[in-house]
Structure 1
Amino acid sequence: MSVSAQQPGTAVVVGGGIAGLATAALLAEEGWTVTVCEARDDVGGRAGSWEQDGFRFDTGPSWYLMPEVFDHFFRLLGTTSADELDLVPLDPAYRVYTEPGADPAPPVDVRSGREESTALFESIEPGAGKRLAAYLDSAADAYDLAVTRFLYDTYETTAGLRDPALLRRVPQLAPLLTRTLASHVDKRFTDQRLRQILGYPAVFLGGSPYGVPSLYHLMSHLDLDEGVLYPRGGFTEVIRAIERLARARGVTIRTEAPVAEILTTDAVATGIRLAGGETIDADLVVSTADLHHTETVLLPEHLRTYPEKWWASRTPSPGALLLLLGVEGELPQLAHHTLLFTEDWRANFEDIFGASPRIPTPASLYVCRPSATDDTVAPDGNENLFVLVPVPAEPALGHGGTDGDGDAAIEAAADRVIDQIAAWCDIPDLKDRIVVRRTIAPGDFATDLNAWRGNALGLAHTLGQSAMFRPRNASRKVDRLAYAGTSALPGIGLPMCLISAELVVKRLRGDRSPGPIAEPAKV
């Protein structure tokens, strides 16, 4: 059973996050008649939006990386990122605070560009600049390899993996797959801050630097070489752009339409049944809902490619404690992106992924201050803060709430985080200046997004859950049932979701090449 070359007909897409909207838009461009069914009252999924008292918050992704993936996606639809989004380069790319000790170090501003980043590393650790240049050369090579050979491959065949050009690179590639990112970094740099700057991208891949393979050092090419962008208006503008393109192609988008079942006849997907009982027939079903939910709830047991026993040995991304804070007055102590790193980093990750998981205290965490760049997200003179604390993927940790009415343990953890930011970043009156407060916790991810174990991002990018080892974009047991999103190929993050949508189209075209779809000729 599979999703194979097929003439356009009717398609229904389960889920209106970025993967669902992108899949719908690309299918419609191919000639399909598409309906999207989203359970919540608005599209966006993890990349949602929330407003209160003049503050507007993104509730999920906040780093615009891999811009060429967005560029490629928009060009497939006959437009460009520049036409659809107002992208602003960030300088600095981000700021780093480390846990204060007896002799606290000043914050470090990380600026993108080879000259800037190597000069920064050299200023902190003599000789590190030259080593970083070599590290970034390797990262750029690994990134090019990923984009041209791994990310856009459906892995329906092993032809891409058997390409002689790739096989010649196995001696260089193998060590990057067999050692961790942390060991790769620690071998080259001694200063703890530099190690953390190079290791933190593992969190955005849903893992720990002590757990993801060192191939993912390629992420440093993105922020240290290429740069970090921000779409003015927030990441909800990315969602609105793709929604706009989908609707322009005739896609019907239905919100408050939760799907209760994927309908099948003789192991062929024939449509979906909504929770209210309505059925929608289709020649193709694409589920972009959480893959665990799709497999274990929307399908009968005998038609599950990834049954419950499969998930028992898999690793989710961390959960997240999110704080959405509206703050009176300005906060120059924080850049648009700010990272706070604990001294005992390994213990921090052990708290999240170890045998006795708990919310780390203190925690390595991330603060986004979009109001540093964007005057549309907060009232004049005030600040918008989005705080992400990686925590265990465990719904039992609790639910968040508004104005402190979440579960007591979650609100207490949020209080500790606010105190930590205040102390580490020299904002002693931060708590007193907060006028809007909302918390989101693993229990909310499980309830609102059907996220497996309340995880925040999807399946972690461990070696055994990357590339050809990751769930494919089609059911092996149900014909004409495809998958896209953060737990299927190629992985976590907005760019990966755009690629996952493209992989569905490649299957329908019968395209088994390892690279992206050829873009239409410019008019």
Structure 2
Amino acid sequence: MTKGLAGKRVVVIGTGIGGSGVSALLAREGAQVLVLERNSFPGGKAASFEHQGFIYDTGVHWLSRGDKGPLGEIADLVGAEVSYRSLEPAMQFTAQGRTATLYQGMDDEEVLELLFEEIGVLPENRPGARALFKDLARERSPRELEELDEVSFSDYCVRFVDDEQLNRLLDGFTGMYMCISRRAASAAEFILCFSNQVKAKNLCYPLGGMRAVPMAYLEALESMGGEVRYSTPVERIVVESGRVRGVEAGEFIPADLVISNTGIKETVALAGRHNFPDHYLSRVDALRLSFGAVSVKYALDAEVVKPHLFCYFPDFRDPQQAERQAAIFVPVPTAADPSLAPPGCQLVLAGSLAPPGLEDREQAAAVCGEILDRIENTMRDLFPDIEDHIVWKIRTDTRYIAEISGRWTGEVIGLAQNRHQVGKNRPSQVTPVEGLYLVGADAGGRGVGTEMAADSALNLWRLLLHS
């Protein structure tokens, strides 16, 4: 217990990974923590649902480090129990008609040589490809990373090699890690994601579904005297004379600190734009979002889809295939945890990216509907028998993610990890309103989406411990 936080009244808005994580960490220090969740269930983008004996996730998840990264660090600190399962080979990747098997040890020379051969890296480009992967995996100081924050990942790569097939692979990695393009992504952020994953060798999935993580944090919170109120949307963050006083959520709830897990743009709106200086508002308004997410969730009565995790790009040299299919990322959660489906059944989540910032509902429905059709085309082409084994399927678009997360648009991660919005250019967790803080993927963290939210929770906890 920390004297400075003991007894402090803290309201946390949202039960996503960042909100649930920081709430448990602050309760550990003796703070009086109340978490307000707009939905009747926990988790936000990390929520899971039950339907006809299947448990499926809001998003399309597979974690890069699990208990060996910030998710595990929070669990250890607050006494939460979450189990993960890692599978080998790690995943499969297909591009331009060629398929490669990816293993956890991507710092191993033999593994890389096999990868380059399978994916079709030209022989004359392989020395450069080897040098690139060696540089990606090596340890770097914070200063070295900072020097690459504002370098695009594509510009960084061409320092070593420019190979069409390898570029497709790197496009796939960038999409999985950060949900933006290789040209927009920060080189430093990609390097951090990749090197951490290579070091941990723990690409994995949480047993019980993604909801197992926030639920474990919230159970730890409640065991330490904290409280969670569901179906309680926050209508307003109350600010007086430049300081937070509490929130309106059906009633006025006083607080010494308010921590928002609902996104920086949404937080400014809840607190009132008039409470922030013009330069801060200009910065917030200019922030760019990651791509949105759409998915088709399949409940199958047999094991139809293999392998357990794959990334697929259509062969863009074939005009018909390029028009008909979508680039997809497909986890099979039941491969890691068979209890997520009835015996002998399979749960498959097929996801793809959608344009960012689709606030208009009709536009979102039209744009996402076309992408969802292409996802289904792709799955039928890859697995011709899939339609014969469907128990049910659910199509989710950016509006679905927006409604669950409480954000205006259905971006996958939050703020894009582009070269203008990472490191020192990432928004601070401390806002100009005294006592109002940000947590989650929008501020204070680094790394792959879900883990970035956990990293943000840890960093805010440390900041408040020493403030």
TM-score scaled by length of structure 1: 0.78
Aligned equivalent of 1:121, options 99, 115, 138 = 115
- Counterpart of 2:101 in structure 1 is 109
- From the superposition, tell whether residues 489 and 63 of structure 1 become closer, same or farther in structure 2 (CA, over 3 Å): same
Cα distance in 2 for partners of 1:68, 1:319 equals 25
The match for 1:314 is: 287
Deviations along 1:328-350, one digit per CA (max 9) or x if unpaired, are 22125x222110113459x9xxx
Matches within 5 A, 1:27-42: 27-42=26-41
Corresponding position of 2:208: 233
Aligned equivalent of 1:88, options 85, 89, 100: 85
TM-score under structure 2 length normalisation: 0.87
Deviation at 1:372, TM superposition (A): 1.9
In the TM superposition, what whole-angstrom CA distance separates every residue of 1:360-381 from its partner, at most 9, and x where no partner exists?
8632111111122221111222
Deviation at 1:445, TM superposition (A): 2.7
1:419 aligns with 2:414: no
Which residue is equivalent to 1:370?
Answer: 333
- Within 5 Å, which residues of 2 pair with 1:195-344? 195-203=167-175, 204-215=177-188, 216-224=190-198, 226-227=200-201, 228-274=203-249, 276=250, 278-296=251-269, 298-304=270-276, 309-332=282-305, 334-344=306-316
Contact persistence 1:206–1:316 (CA under 8 A): no
Find the residue that maps to 1:46 and give its secondary structure.
Answer: helix
RMSD over aligned Cα atoms: 2.8
What is residue 183 of structure 1 aligned with on the other side? 155
Amino acid in structure 1 at the alignment position of 2:311: L
2:70 paired residue number: 69
Give the direction of change, closer, same or farther, for the CA distance of 1:311–1:361 in structure 2 (3 Å limit). Answer: farther
Is the Cα–Cα contact under 8 Å of residues 300 and 347 in structure 2 kept in the other structure? yes
Q: Look up the match of 1:46.
A: 45
Gaps of 5+ in 2: none
Distance 1:279 1:493 in 2: 33
- Cα deviation, residue 63, structure 1: 2.0
The change in CA–CA distance for 1:198 and 1:85 in structure 2 (over 3 A counts) is same
Deviations 1:273-329 (A, max 9, x none): 11x3x1111111111112211112x11222136876444432110011121111222
User: Does residue 458 in structure 1 map to residue 414 in structure 2?
Assistant: yes
Pair 470,304 (structure 1): closer, same or farther in 2 beyond 3 Å: same
Distance 2:160 2:10 in 1: 50
Report Cα offsets for 1:414-473 as digits up to 9, x if no partner. Answer: 2331121221x2x11223322211122112233332324332210001111111111111
Distance in 2 between the 1:225 and 1:16 partners? 29
Change (3 A) 1:343 1:489: farther
SS in 1 for 2:334: helix
Aligned partner of 2:401 among 445, 459, 476: 445
> Where in structure 1 are there 5+ consecutive unaligned residues?
150-165, 348-358, 401-406, 512-523
Shift of 1:412: 5.2
Q: 1:129 to 1:219 in 2, by over 3 A?
A: farther
Distance 1:280 1:61, change over 3 A: farther
- Aligned ranges for residues 142-181 of structure 1 at < 5 Å? 144-145=140-141, 149=142, 166=143, 169=144, 174=147, 176-181=148-153
2: CA distance between counterparts of 1:87 and 1:509?
Answer: 29
1:237 to partner: Cα distance: 1.4
Cα distance change of structure 1 residues 375 and 140 upon mapping to structure 2, 3 Å threshold: same
Q: Distance in 2 between matches of 1:266 and 1:191?
A: 57
| CA displacement, residues 383-441 of structure 1 (integer Å, 9 cap, x when unaligned) | 111111101121336599xxxxxx57645542331121221x2x112233222111221
Aligned partners of 2:82 and 2:207 also within 8 Å: yes
Say if 1:139 and 1:217, in contact at 8 Å, map to a contact too. yes
CA–CA distance in 1 between the matches of 2:95 and 2:375?
14
Structure 1 pair 342/8, CA: closer, same or farther in 2 (3 Å)? Answer: farther
Partner of 2:137: 140
Q: What is the CA–CA distance in structure 2 between the aligned matches of 1:180 and 1:328, rounded to whole Å?
A: 44
What is the aligned partner in structure 1 of residue 347 from structure 2?
384
Q: 1:33 to 1:485 in 2, by over 3 A?
A: same
- Partner-residue secondary structure (3-state), 1:381: coil
Partner of 2:8: 9
Task: Look up the equivalent residue of 1:362 and give its one-letter code.
Answer: Q
SS state at 1:35 partner: strand
Find the residue that maps to 1:458 and give its secondary structure. Answer: coil
Alpha-carbon distance in 1 for matches of 2:404, 2:116: 46
- Map Cα deviations across residues 464-483 of structure 1 (whole Å, 9 max, x no partner): 1111111111111x111111
2:438 equivalent among 483, 506, 509: 483
Query: Distance in 1 between the 2:273 and 2:166 partners?
Result: 48
The alignment covers a number of residue pairs equal to: 448
Secondary structure of 2:253 counterpart: strand
Distance 1:273 1:324 in 2: 36
Read off the aligned partner of 2:211 and give its amino acid letter.
T
- Judged with a 3 Å threshold, the aligned counterparts in structure 2 of structure 1 residues 136 and 191 are, in CA distance, closer, same or farther, namely closer
In structure 1, C-alpha distance between the alignment counterparts of 2:337 and 2:124, rounded to whole Å: 38
Query: 2 CA distance for matches of 1:61 and 1:270?
Result: 37
Instruction: After superposing the two structures, state which structure 1 stretch, 382-391 or 223-232, moved more.
Output: 223-232
Amino acid at match of 1:335: P
1:382–1:273 Cα change, 3 Å? same
SS of the aligned residue for 1:453 comes to coil
Report the CA distance shift for 1:431/1:222 in structure 2 as closer, same or farther (over 3 A). farther
Q: Match for 1:97 among 88, 94, 98?
A: 94
Structure 2 residue identity aligned to 1:71: G
